[in-house]
Structure 1
């Protein structure tokens, strides 16, 4: 039996002053000191890995999108503003009238200042703004008002797109119990989404048909939507973004009533004996006795199971990534030999669908713990689809007289970026100048926290 989030919250508020009517994190310190201090300690979560360096094949898979420039593992919530500011994916201010830059929607899940501005400006006006033009407004990293109503300890979905999405899958927020509401507050950001082009790049969660990879793919396919055309294969591509809420919602954990809060925000006691929820959102295993021991007998056995799940998923994704890189270049060889769209439509759709399922599986943080069965199933289908794409292209090569296909050097991130024609020196120089001349002297301190690379 899992603890009730509602009980967590009521226990944690004993003796507290009223909640501030503010989105500023600092204003919540006095009424909720234990919660605030634990949230503040996410600043110690500094570890970060360069995933493109670890897996250069992803540069090729994401060629033509900003994800091929930079893709690091996330740090603690205190670094959310800094990391989105410094990543090469959000670029620099537009250089001229033909350069639109990146949408302010990139701020949506990084700060409670984003929903504040949406309320002031309107969702579409916010999204239509340029990312760098609103940097001066982003003083607060992910924090209190993201999940709690200003002026109240009650939970909320601060982001309009999340409220709409939960209604699409028949989970309206105000009709859920405290445990599900807690999961939904995490799910407003730990979820896949896209920028809706017909609504000024407003964030939208594609759950019209449901939240599985198949149902979201159907949503995109029926709209003929794609995020970019792959420059190597000309495939109309889709991008999954950390679909953690989706994969959790179908997991054994969810069926047992275990939510994000139970596993990642354990209950503790402050110095006065009052219970509170730990807001240093961390690894569940680090707090095994508080989070996992209710269902798992041994930390060692659980760790071994998780390691085995992770190894199986890593092996499966290795295979799929290799096949997808080859498929993109097989398609290029066919185009170079004079293939027509009518000949390419079927294999390109296989590539699109295979890479979507691969991405849905691997973009979900911790899927080896949250729902390894779904991750492995998605990768198995992706393997079949990528294999089918290559088989169709091999037949087309025979018709077109293609006898050899050249595949890229994947020995390093730099080699892969060079292979797909990325001018990384320019991107890095422009970003460094922007950080030095604009962000460091003019933006709020949150943008420079931790000096991210």
Structure 2
């Protein structure tokens, strides 16, 4: 074990030591593919960092994605009333960041005159053009703009200035929401060590957030009280904030968004100084025996001998543990989803029967809190690997809160003489969409017309990458 720890320290030291030298090249070349293709000249980053460029280019191989609503149709009911109920896919490689956010039904099409469309804040973590536009327009001016109105300004996928001082290997945090969040926690970026800075540049986007309505929908990280689930919930409840009113249960809903950084920061990996870079960007050797950081930003297990062996004795053992954790977390999540779906419809039945807020307040708050804890767990990609203990805790709490909501609702329904509740068919995405009145085919038709008439003609080709 001592030998393993020594090897871990040696490998981790290499990774951290190369953060400013090698990781720089990762972000230095991101997003330059379109420029390279359009230019007869060889890109300088490809010349200076050929190994890093080659492995970065391989992110275009990461084309597989899962239709999460087809796999988990109960989510459509839980997210009814929001754009997440329309379409929700698992993420692909960084090369597709701009195209995927352009094509998803969640960003819609240009709004009708007099209507408020999707905020340009949806571009914030997809491109270095977002920080540029924020500087030019001001944070609120940028976020008050419509998503589609700024489409012609988006010319690059993730790029060097997303994580580095322009033209330098020095790490940077260009997004205002991340700068503000680190100031709130009392550890501004410039005072962090290289390890935490390396994690934070990933964490400026792989983190939960919301759009701040009183500031024209600027991106904000709700960390005033802390970044754990309960303190974020305290922040939202104190502000009486909600993202939408659920059309079925009238619950003021909160939405978590890929909180990988938060889960990692409280994990055994973080305690051991194992960061995103350690696991997902391992150090490798080229044919000349020169070390470089792999920039494909991929799963860790395929690189077990470089990323995991210092702390884990066998690939088979860790794979078995990951499978067991994933199976347990998935089973817990499905139970919570079923309970929450029923709670939403039981609340509807109570409202329809004449219930008032005095009767419903406790149940509605339990639905709100239960769905928040479930979402904070399941919105995080790779939770079963990053922090399974926190995942189990969150889902256990969500289960208790969902059951509490249903127990209160059962009493309310009994008092109102309601003895039957109609529940939706959630056996498929199609049936769940029908239950909440979403016509995916009609939405897709409008989206494709917008892509054909606007995006393909006037936007940068990166906006259709992977959809040709």
Q: Residues 62-84 of structure 1, C-alpha deviation per residue, up to 9 Å, x if partnerless?
A: 00000000000000000000000
Over the aligned positions, Cα root-mean-square deviation in angstroms equals 1.7
Aligned to 1:307: 323
**1:297 paired residue among 313, 323, 326:** 313
Q: Give the superposition deviation at 1:425.
A: 2.8
Alpha-carbon separation, structure 1, partners of 2:313 and 2:466: 38
Residues 124, 130 of structure 2: 8 Å contact kept: yes
Report how far residue 166 of structure 1 moved: 1.5
Matches within 5 A, 1:404-423: 404-423=420-439
Distance 1:105 1:37 in 2: 31
**CA-to-partner distance for each residue in 1:8-32, whole Å, 9 max, x for gaps?**
1355399x9xx79x98565533333
2:257 is aligned with 1:238 = no
Corresponding position of 2:48 = 31
After superposition, residues 245-264 of structure 1 pair within 5 angstroms as: 245-264=261-280
> How many angstroms apart in 2 are the aligned matches of 1:322 and 1:115?
41
Q: Determine which of 53, 72, 96 is the counterpart of 1:79.
A: 96
TM-score, length-normalised on structure 1? 0.96
- Which of 61, 76, 82 pairs up with 2:78? 61
Q: Quote the offset at 1:429 in angstroms.
A: 1.3
102-111 or 146-155, which deviates more = 146-155
Q: Which residue of 2 aligns with 1:12?
A: 22
Aligned residues: 447
On the 8 A contact 2:184/2:224 being kept in 1, the answer is yes
Q: What residue is the counterpart of 1:202 in the other structure?
A: 218
Structure 1 equivalent of residue 400 of structure 2: 384
SS at match of 2:231: helix
Structure 1 residue aligned with 2:111: 94
Could you give the per-residue CA deviations for residues 428-452 of structure 1, whole angstroms, max 9, x where no partner exists? 1110100111111211011000008
Q: Is the contact made by 1:11 and 1:276 (CA closer than 8 Å) also made in structure 2?
A: no
Q: Please list, as runs of the form range in 1=range in 2, the aligned pairs for 1:30-49 lying within 5 A after superposition.
A: 30-49=47-66
Q: How does the TM-score come out when normalised to structure 2?
A: 0.93
Mapped to 2, the partners of 1:149 and 1:11 lie a distance apart of: 13
Residue 110 (structure 1) aligns with: 126
* Number of the residue aligned with 1:3: 13
Q: Work out whether 1:395 is the aligned partner of 2:407.
A: no
Q: Secondary structure at the match of 2:292?
A: strand
Match of 1:218 in 2: 234
State the secondary structure of the residue aligned to 1:102. coil
Alpha-carbon offset, residue 271 of structure 1: 4.1
Consecutive unaligned residues in structure 2, runs of 5 or more? 1-8, 37-42
Tell me, yes or no, if the aligned pair for 1:13 and 1:32 is still in contact at 8 Å.
Answer: no
Corresponding position of 1:175: 191
**DSSP-derived class of the 2:284 partner:** strand
How many Å apart are 1:145 and its aligned residue? Answer: 1.9
Segment drifting more, 218-227 vs 420-429: 420-429
- The offset of 1:41, in angstroms, is 1.1
- Is 1:279 aligned with 2:279? no
Structure-1 residue corresponding to 2:5: none
How far apart are the structure 2 equivalents of 1:208 and 1:11? 34
Between 145-154 and 43-52, report the one with greater CA deviation.
145-154
Query: Structure 1 stretch 139-148 or stretch 59-68: which is displaced more?
Result: 139-148
Q: 2:332 aligns with which of 316, 330, 333?
A: 316
Measured against aligned partners, the alpha-carbon deviations of 1:370-424 in whole angstroms (never above 9, x if no partner) come to: 0000000000000000000000000000111111000000111011011011232
Gaps in structure 1 of 5+ consecutive residues: none
1:144 CA displacement? 2.1
For 2:93 and 2:398, the matched residues in 1 are separated by 31
Task: Tell me if structure 2 keeps the 8 A contact 1:23–1:150.
Answer: no
Q: Which residue of 2 aligns with 1:355?
A: 371
Distance 2:320 2:428 in 1: 30
Q: 1:344 & 1:362 partners in 2: Cα distance?
A: 27
Residue pair 1:23, 1:113 contacting (<8 A) in 2 also: no
1:139 shift after superposition = 1.4
1:70 maps to 2:80: no
- CA drift of 1:4 comes to 5.2
